[in-house]
Amino acid sequence: MSTIMISYGTHVFTKFKGYYGRKEECPYCQRKYQQAYVKFSKWFHLIGIPLFPVKRTYYKMCPICAYPVELTVREAKDQMERAYDNIPEQKIELYGKHVSARKPKNIFAHDFSYDFCVKDLISGEEFCIAANLSKDRVKQIAKERGLKKIPFVEA
């Protein structure tokens, strides 16, 4: 008798939808910015093929530290549609920073020489939110913020 392995489960897809609304002070990092809206969709998949959505939700996040507030799809869409307040656009860049000086000498050692950084391109301020990460962890944080890809820079 042979056993057939069938892979199934759920997978979460995320998508950054933009910055909306008035500037709000973050209760965690106290920075005042328009909030990032990120859509999360959890899909049931079979053998790697997404079949149907299990849950859809939005998070309104601080664009600096990602402090999240969960919203229903309806609430998020209402807030995004009403958000024409004639606010000057904010420009924020997210990137992984490779600190090569911290890279381990031993090629077999795990490399935790990456930081996750956010830069306000208007004020020029850089916020390194998390340090000493693996490259995969930086990519995972970018995904949690709804980004498919994140650029890497050398420090």
Residues in contact with Zn ion by CB under 5 A are 26, 28-29, 62, 64-65, 67
Nearer to Zn ion, 60 or 98 (CB): 60
What residues are paired with 69 via a beta bridge?
A: 60
Beta strands in the chain (DSSP E): 8-25, 32-46, 49-61, 68-71, 92-98, 114-120, 126-133, 152-154
Question: Nearest approach, Cβ of 31 to Zn ion (angstroms)?
Answer: 5
Q: Which amino acid is at 89?
A: E
> Which of 155, 15, 33, 24 lies closest to 92, judged by CA?
33
Question: Nearest approach, Cβ of 145 to Zn ion (angstroms)?
Answer: 12
Question: Nearest approach, Cβ of 60 to Zn ion (angstroms)?
Answer: 12
Residue 14 burial (C-beta neighbours within 10 Å; 0-12, 13-18, 19+)? middle
Nearer to Zn ion, 38 or 113 (CB): 38
Nearer to Zn ion, 64 or 133 (CB): 64
Question: Nearest approach, Cβ of 109 to Zn ion (angstroms)?
Answer: 33
Nearer to Zn ion, 70 or 104 (CB): 70
